[in-house]
Amino acid sequence: MLRTVPRHPDRPPDLAVVGDRLLTDCRDVTSDLGALDSSGQWAVVLPYAGEPVCARFDRVRPARPWTGRPWVGVPTDSWTSSLSQHEFETGVRTIRAAIARGDVYQVNLTRVLSAPLPPEADVAALGAALAAGNPAPFAAVVRLVDHGVQVASASPERFLERDGSRVWSSPIKGTAASAGEFLPKDRAENVMIVDLVRNDLGRVCDWGTVSVPGLCEVEPHPGLVHLVSTVEGRLRNGSGWADAIGATFPPGSVTGAPKVAALEHIAALEPVSRQVYCGAVGWVDADTGRGALNVAIRTFWFDDDQIRFGTGGGITWDSDPAGEWNETELKARRLLTVAAGPLTAPATGSVTR
């Protein structure tokens, strides 16, 4: 069901910066993924937990530099974590025990960081700060205040991209400070998730069209490197966005394998909802059948009077509990430093309490 967007002069205007495009003049909003195959230009937010938000905009322009007020900054010592280091490492040991029993092969364990939301904080200004301090290929900002969506993502990862009937995904598994520091378990993580994504796409693609044109390729990003693979296929006739998302969501790289079993372990081990984190954010041009959705990692979101950020990693039998905690710190450190704005932030040491 489409809902017309109300106009509130005291609210910041709705907007989305997704890919290389700026969307303004929001016309309507729906949770129906089938609308993405109708007409118009859409910004899409798929929370890991919660209803999809698909917003159609009337005006589309190339993205341009932010000219509003600068980001206000969040002190790095103000963040708290949903899991302490001890609790996170205990979770890693619990997952390793489940792997030893044969219950699961890999589980993505995450924690949500929270800090007080600064007065007059604007998620678009945060998005601009991230674009300058941590540029990412699948960056996105969506501001729909009346619909409870304020998200700024510096995601490096493609969840699902589509051009007509061609669809592809590029899961990231394996993170290190430099290419020489990858461990054997990083490649094992990646290959397991590639197999999962092949299976997911096979549910909605023509038989024999699913392939892996890139496997465990090293990709540099600010402050770290990742192992990235690409899986692609051709959608069956009559299949659209709702079918493709239904077959592949939530992204395998942030769940684990087998996916259903991994989701059960996540629900048992993580004490708070991931909300937007580990979902997807992006754009769809329904008129041309094109679009791209990221995996909502390296992502901030506003939740009432809090700003939140998630960090985590894939746990396998070879995982070291302390090493996995350190990986979550590595993934968070640069982003939290950028979010601190002009405030002084520590260059080393723990970034969360």
pLDDT digit string, tens, across residues 103-149: 999 999 999 999 999 999 999 999 999 999 999 999 999 999 999 99
- Beta-bridge partner residues of 226: 175, 219
Structure token digits, residue 306:
């809090």
**Residue 319 in tokens:** 């995982």
Dist. CA 157–CA 145, nearest whole Å: 25
Could you tell me which of 9, 30, 14 has the C-alpha nearest to residue 286?
Answer: 30
Give residues with Cβ within 8 angstroms of 273, minimum separation 6. Answer: 48, 49, 112
Cβ distance 233 to 202 under 8 Å? yes
Rounded to whole angstroms, how far apart are CA atoms 78 and 131?
A: 23
Which tokens sit at 173?
């598994």
The pLDDT value recorded for residue 5 is 56
Q: What is the number of alpha carbons within 13 Å of residue 202 lying toward its C-beta?
A: 11
For residues 255 and 264, give the distance between their C-alpha atoms in angstroms, rounded to a whole number. 10
**DSSP one-letter code for 168:** E
- pLDDT, position 1: 61
User: Which one from 173, 185, 259, 331 is the annotated catalytic residue?
Assistant: 173
Among 155, 29, 105, 141, smallest CA distance to 261 is for 105
What local confidence, expressed as pLDDT, does residue 65 receive?
86
pLDDT value, residue 348: 41
Q: Which amino acid is at 349?
A: G
How far separated are the first and last CA of the chain, in Å rounded? 42
Which residue(s) pair with 88 in the sheet? Answer: none
- Return the C-alpha torsion angle 341, 345, 350, 353, nearest 10: -60
Smallest Cα–Cα separation from 152: which of 265, 297, 250, 27? Answer: 297
pLDDT tens per residue across span 143-194: 999 999 999 999 999 999 999 999 999 999 988 999 999 999 899 999 999 9
| Phi, psi of 338, rounded to the nearest 5 degrees | -65, -45
Task: Tell me how crowded residue 268 is: count the other CB atoms within 10 A of its CB.
Answer: 12
Distance (Å, rounded) from C-alpha 306 to C-alpha 117?
5
Torsion angle in degrees (nearest 10) through CA of 276, 125, 329, 353: -90
Domain boundary assignment for the chain: 3-339
Helices within the chain (DSSP H only) = 85-101, 123-133, 184-202, 241-248, 259-269, 321-339
How far is the C-alpha of 23 from the C-alpha of 92, rounded, in Å?
41
Say what the pLDDT of residue 19 is: 84
Is 173 among the catalytic positions?
yes
The CATH number of the domain covering residues in 3-339: 3.60.120.10
Read off φ and ψ for residue 282, nearest 5 degrees.
175, -155
What's the pTM?
0.94
Residues of the chain with pLDDT under 70: 1-9, 343-353
Catalytic one of 89, 157, 270, 327: 157
State residue 345's pLDDT score.
40
Q: Is 259 noted as a catalytic residue in this protein?
A: no
Query: What is the distance between the alpha carbons of residues 57 and 292, in angstroms, rounded to a whole number?
Result: 16
